[in-house]
């Protein structure tokens, strides 16, 4: 996406939000914007999601932080509700800020390849789906988006 396209997308999303019906457009803008390498998506609350797993894995290895991979879709109501929860729940924001975040959308070219990975098989059962890894070991693989306490515990290693 060019800088001009990013600016246009920002103002379109802002106008939709002001109009009151912009949740989907805002989510779309923030999750799919491509600024520079590595691709980063930023939520309204300031959480930064990598859009490419390899860059996120490198960052997790450098920092020693766990890797939080969120699988979602724009048509998925629970996915949108989880993203709203991320923006409004300070405890969840604090937990997620202790991890390197990755967002994989159902439209991403690599999406289908994940369900054949060991530990990721439940992705085929639906969305949203979350995987938390620490040092290559899966700590949590779940569809339970409402159980933010379990997500926070897995990120903190408890």
Do 74 and 112 reside in the same domain of the chain? yes
User: What pLDDT is stored for residue 11 in this prediction?
Assistant: 58
Do 3 and 48 reside in the same domain of the chain? no
User: What pLDDT is stored for residue 69 in this prediction?
Assistant: 97
User: What pLDDT is stored for residue 43 in this prediction?
Assistant: 84
Do 118 and 45 reside in the same domain of the chain? yes
Do 101 and 68 reside in the same domain of the chain? yes
Q: How many CA atoms lie within 13 A of 98 on its CB side?
A: 15
Give how many domains the chain has, as a whole number: 2
Do 1 and 14 reside in the same domain of the chain? yes
Query: How open is the CA angle 40-6-18, to the nearest 5 degrees?
Result: 100
Do 55 and 87 reside in the same domain of the chain? yes
pLDDT tens digits along 132-148 = 999 999 999 999 999 99
Among 55, 52, 57, 68, CA closest to 111: 52
Do 80 and 58 reside in the same domain of the chain? yes
Do 128 and 149 reside in the same domain of the chain? yes
What residues does 50 pair with on adjacent strands? Answer: 40, 102
Do 88 and 143 reside in the same domain of the chain? yes
Question: In the chain, which stretches have pLDDT less than 70?
Answer: 1-38
Do 111 and 143 reside in the same domain of the chain? yes
Q: Which two tokens stand for residue 16?
A: 């939709």
- In which domain, by residue range, is 26 found? 1-35
Do 47 and 103 reside in the same domain of the chain? yes
What pTM, to 2 d.p., does this model score?
Answer: 0.76
CATH number at residue 129: 3.40.30.10
Do 13 and 45 reside in the same domain of the chain? no
């Amino acid at each position: 996406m060019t800088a001009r396209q990013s600016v246009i997308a920002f103002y379109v999303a802002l106008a939709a939000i002001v109009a009151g019906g912009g949740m989907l457009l805002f989510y779309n803008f923030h999750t799919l914007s491509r600024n520079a390498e590595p691709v980063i998506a930023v939520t309204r609350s300031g959480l930064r999601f990598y859009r490419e797993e390899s860059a996120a894995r490198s960052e997790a290895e450098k920092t020693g932080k766990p890797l939080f991979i969120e699988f979602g879709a724009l048509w998925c109501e629970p996915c949108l509700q989880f993203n709203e929860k991320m923006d409004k729940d300070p405890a969840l924001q604090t937990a997620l800020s202790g991890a390197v975040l990755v967002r994989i959308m159902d439209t991403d070219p690599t999406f289908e390849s994940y369900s054949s990975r060991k530990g990721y098989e439940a992705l085929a059962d639906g969305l949203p789906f979350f995987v938390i890894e620490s040092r290559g070991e899966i700590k949590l693989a779940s569809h339970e988006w409402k159980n933010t306490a379990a997500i926070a515990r897995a990120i903190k290693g408890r």
